[in-house]
């Protein structure tokens, strides 16, 4: 899809091309009554020249007035005016024409890569429905306050973050997360703005103002992405600043010295100087390098990963160490009963790790009896461990079965259940009550149970590892990360068991939030030269570490606001498998950037040398400039494919 500006440019190019061909043909065939040297020819050639080039000449003059002399507009204007001076009229028009073709192509390509990012912009909702006197009224999402109830009809975009009060629907999150599988929501569920409501009518209580909503934050991230330039881009900008004046001085020397000292004609000197100027135009570099990065960021956004600037994309290509926070990043942060060990069971070892079932089905009779007693004992507590035991049992109790519940801080609970004294708690509770217990073989949080002083067994509760994590670690290694590390506040054994299951290189456990920053500092010191450290986290306490790392990656959908603010890259669907994909995109983007730099400079240097010795004319010059630009842009667009 072309913009209006691009369509106008295309009409100018086609019009100029038509006039130019007509003039060249009539001149060669000698169809007009005046000869080749007649002053009518330059006047005729000025028509297509100004038709195609007026804006370049205008920009060159405007920049000279503003004190910015050396840019490509100035080079083009100078070279073509020089060509007119040495009676190379058709070449002057051709240079302008091809330069504008290159510019049009570049504009189109940049818009294409912008488009893939602005597809994300389509997530911006235009209105929210509010109910007034039984009627639905459309208002600006900005005007809705926290606590208001909005109504979202089937097929509408969700305008603000909120909690579903009534209704049941499937939600299409693909615009945000890149995932095509719709998500189910019903009353009580949280939902984020920018997704599309699939089937049902939803009533939603707004939990965040529009400015703080997911959509507003994403749009802000995307808009600011282009301001954070990669070091390579900054180098190219600086390079162009010094390169252009050097080239102009060289062209002046080429025009003056050979005619003065080597008997060359003045018109030949000026011709060579003009050719030299056209060749030297640094468009290919100035355009293709930022565009490659832009395309890379676009490719990542298609996968549901937001990169906040091309500097982070470049840093990611040199990743050496990837550090993960455990809870919420590698694990779901949901505690589940994963093992039940009745004391009399001979086959304790075989009944561990049954994560495939949430409810009480699938356990043996003796395991169920122990689970029921534990759920009974924990029925009055609101601790996450107690909740997970009750969820695993999945049935309710008569309250009359429980009496005299007494919490023993740091140890557990003592309770009368069905008239008998039951103890449920950690190993410290067992030691305190002098009960001979058998240590639980599993790793995680353990609840030991005793009744009337007799040890009955233990229940293991662990945090569930997210799907696809071991695979994500293997992918990261394949993509080039040298070391994977996990930081956790958990006990050493728990941390090490998780690390072993996932396949990590290092684990640092029992850390307080402050220790995490120190640990990252230590790991940063181990990275040599260009090697970079990436930190992946989701929690509020991860914000300082995210900003300290070379590249901070945050979980977007479940992550905290603070983490998303502090991060450099946001995974919109919390899937750590996407990290390896983005590392691959960043490496590919950087490869393309390097190819473009080497190719553009290589061709330029060869043709510049030819031009200086008079072996290249304006046509080779046009190829060295426009041709190289077009090839470099086509190469840059490969980054869009990810």
Catalytic residue numbers?
A: 325
CB 545 within 8 A of CB 560: no
Q: Are strands 168-172 and 183-186 parallel, antiparallel or unpaired?
A: antiparallel
608-613 long-range contacts, CB within 8 A, separation 24+: 608/276, 608/279, 608/280, 611/272, 611/275, 611/276, 611/279, 612/254, 612/272, 612/276
**Beta-carbon neighbour count of residue 197 at 10 Å?**
22
Supply the DSSP string of 357-413, one letter for each residue. -SSSTTS-HHHHHHHHHHHHHTTT---HHHHHHHHHH-----GGGEEEEEEETTTEE
DSSP state, 157? B
Structure tokens, 623: 């190829």
Structure tokens, 604: 């330029």
CB 538 within 8 A of CB 559: yes
End-to-end alpha-carbon separation of the chain, Å?
21
- Report how far Cα 486 is from the mean position of its chain's Cα atoms: 22
Count the alpha carbons within 13 Å of 254 in the hemisphere toward its beta carbon: 25
3-state SS, residue 558:
coil
Going by C-beta distance under 8 Å and a sequence separation of 6 or more, which residues neighbour residue 101?
Answer: 13, 626
- Give the whole-angstrom CA distance, residue 158 versus residue 12: 43
DSSP state, 556? S
Of 540, 30, 110, 22, the closest CA to residue 297 belongs to 110
Q: Are strands 454-465 and 445-451 parallel, antiparallel or unpaired?
A: antiparallel
- Give the whole-angstrom CA distance, residue 248 versus residue 244: 6
Backbone dihedral angles phi then psi of residue 27, each to the nearest 5 degrees: -65, -45
Q: Are strands 319-325 and 532-537 parallel, antiparallel or unpaired?
A: parallel
3-state SS, residue 324:
strand
Structure tokens, 616: 């290249």
Beta strands per DSSP E along 401-544: 402-408, 412-417, 420-425, 445-451, 454-465, 483-487, 506-508, 532-537
- Give the whole-angstrom CA distance, residue 111 versus residue 548: 34
CB 339 within 8 A of CB 440: yes
- Give the whole-angstrom CA distance, residue 642 versus residue 379: 52
Backbone dihedral angles phi then psi of residue 251, each to the nearest 5 degrees: -65, -40
**What length does the chain have?**
642
Supply the DSSP string of 165-231, one letter for each residue. EE-EEEEE-HHHH---S-EEEETT-EE-TT-EE-SS-EEEEE-S-GGGSHHHHHHHHHHHHTTS--H
- Give the whole-angstrom CA distance, residue 200 versus residue 31: 75
Of 77, 206, 78, the closest CA to residue 131 belongs to 206
């Amino acid at each position: 899809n072309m913009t209006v500006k691009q369509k106008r440019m295309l009409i100018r190019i086609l019009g100029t091309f038509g006039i130019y061909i007509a003039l060249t043909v009539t001149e060669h065939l000698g169809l007009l009554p005046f000869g080749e040297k007649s002053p009518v020819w330059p006047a005729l050639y000025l028509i297509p020249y100004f038709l195609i080039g007026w804006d370049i000449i205008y920009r060159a003059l405007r920049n000279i007035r503003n004190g910015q002399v050396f840019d490509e507009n100035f080079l083009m204007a100078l070279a073509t005016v020089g060509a007119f001076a040495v009676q190379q009229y058709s070449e002057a028009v051709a240079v302008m024409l091809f330069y504008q073709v290159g510019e049009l192509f570049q504009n189109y390509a940049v818009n294409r890569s912008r488009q893939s990012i602005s597809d994300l912009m389509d997530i911006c909702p235009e209105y929210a429905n509010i109910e007034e006197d039984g009627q639905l009224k459309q208002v600006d999402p900005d005007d809705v306050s926290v606590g208001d109830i909005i109504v979202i009809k089937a097929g509408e975009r969700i305008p603000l973050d909120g909690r579903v009060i009534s209704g049941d629907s499937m939600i299409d999150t693909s615009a945000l997360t890149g995932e095509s599988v719709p998500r189910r929501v019903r009353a009580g569920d949280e939902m984020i703005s920018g997704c599309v409501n699939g089937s049902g009518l939803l009533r939603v209580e707004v939990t965040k103002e529009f400015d703080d909503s997911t959509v507003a934050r994403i749009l802000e991230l995307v808009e600011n992405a282009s301001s954070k330039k990669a070091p390579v881009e900054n180098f190219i900008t600086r390079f162009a600043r010094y390169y252009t004046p050097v080239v102009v001085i060289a062209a002046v020397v080429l025009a003056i010295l050979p005619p003065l000292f080597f008997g060359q004609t003045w018109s030949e000197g000026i011709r060579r100087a003009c050719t030299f100027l056209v060749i030297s135009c640094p468009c290919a570099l100035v355009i293709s390098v930022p565009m490659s990065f832009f395309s890379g960021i676009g490719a990542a956004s298609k996968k549901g990963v937001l990169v906040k600037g091309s500097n982070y994309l470049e840093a990611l290509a040199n990743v050496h160490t990837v550090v993960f926070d455990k809870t919420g990043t590698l694990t779901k942060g949901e505690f589940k009963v994963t093992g039940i060990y009745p004391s009399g069971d001979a086959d304790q070892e075989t009944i561990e790790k049954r994560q495939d079932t949430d409810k009480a089905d699938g356990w043996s009779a003796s395991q169920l009896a122990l689970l029921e007693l534990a759920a009974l004992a924990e029925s009055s507590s609101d601790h996450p461990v107690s909740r997970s035991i009750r969820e695993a049992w999945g049935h309710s109790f008569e309250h009359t079965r429980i009496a005299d519940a007494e919490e023993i801080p740091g140890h557990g609970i003592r309770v009368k259940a069905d008239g008998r004294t039951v103890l449920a708690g950690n190993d410290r509770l067992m030691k305190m009550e002098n009960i001979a217990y058998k240590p639980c073989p599993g790793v995680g949080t353990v609840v030991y149970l005793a009744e009337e002083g007799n040890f009955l067994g233990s229940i293991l509760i662990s945090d569930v590892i997210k799907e696809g994590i071991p695979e994500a670690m293997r992918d990261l290694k394949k993509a080039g990360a040298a070391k994977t590390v996990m930081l956790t506040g958990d006990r050493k054994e728990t941390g090490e068991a998780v690390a072993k299951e996932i396949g990590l290189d290092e684990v640092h456990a029992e850390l307080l939030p402050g220790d995490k920053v120190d640990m990252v500092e230590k790991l940063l010191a181990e990275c040599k030269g260009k090697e970079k450290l990436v930190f992946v986290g989701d929690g509020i306490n991860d914000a300082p570490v995210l900003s300290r790392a070379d590249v901070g990656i945050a979980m977007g959908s479940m992550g905290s606001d603070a983490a998303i603010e502090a991060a450099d890259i946001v995974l919109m669907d919390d899937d750590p498998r996407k990290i390896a994909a983005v590392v691959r995109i960043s490496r590919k983007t950087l490869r393309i950037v390097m190819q473009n730099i080497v190719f553009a400079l290589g061709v330029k240097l060869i043709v510049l040398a030819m031009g200086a010795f008079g072996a290249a004319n304006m046509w080779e010059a046009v190829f060295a400039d426009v041709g190289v630009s077009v090839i470099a842009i086509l190469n840059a667009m490969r980054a869009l494919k990810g």
